[in-house]
Amino acid sequence: MCDKKENQRILMNNIMGEAQRHGIPDYMVKGIAYYIVLRINSGDFLMAVLENDLKEACLLADKNNRNLLWNYIDFLWNKAPSGCWGSKEKVQKWLEAKDVEV
């Protein structure tokens, strides 16, 4: 039987693989996985994407990420838990629920 750390490691690897398959840049993949699995704030750009704030995401994105916004939404829609993204309220609840496993 797997312990909590092993389950987290497996989930982190799965999420990072899916994010890469959806075209998320390698330098952003770990931040997404840390946010989803460990519920750690992952920077202003990613938080704007998660909060569904297109204007802020565009303002904060580097040139590469600005061109990949659809990839982030495609990944979130198809692979991320629905409770972890979509509004500021959802993101705040997700970050506050540190004791809940994905």
Look at residue 10 and tell me whether its pLDDT is greater than 90.
yes
* pTM, to two decimals: 0.91
The pLDDT tens digits of the residues spanning 15-29 come to: 999 999 999 999 999
Task: Show me where the domains of the chain are located.
Answer: 4-96
| Separation of alpha carbons 12 and 42, rounded Å | 14
pLDDT at site 2: 65
Average pLDDT over the chain, rounded to an integer = 95
Instruction: List, in order, residues 6 or more apart from 96 with CB less than 8 Å away.
Output: none
| Separation of alpha carbons 99 and 55, rounded Å | 32
Total H helices, total E strands in the chain: 7, 0
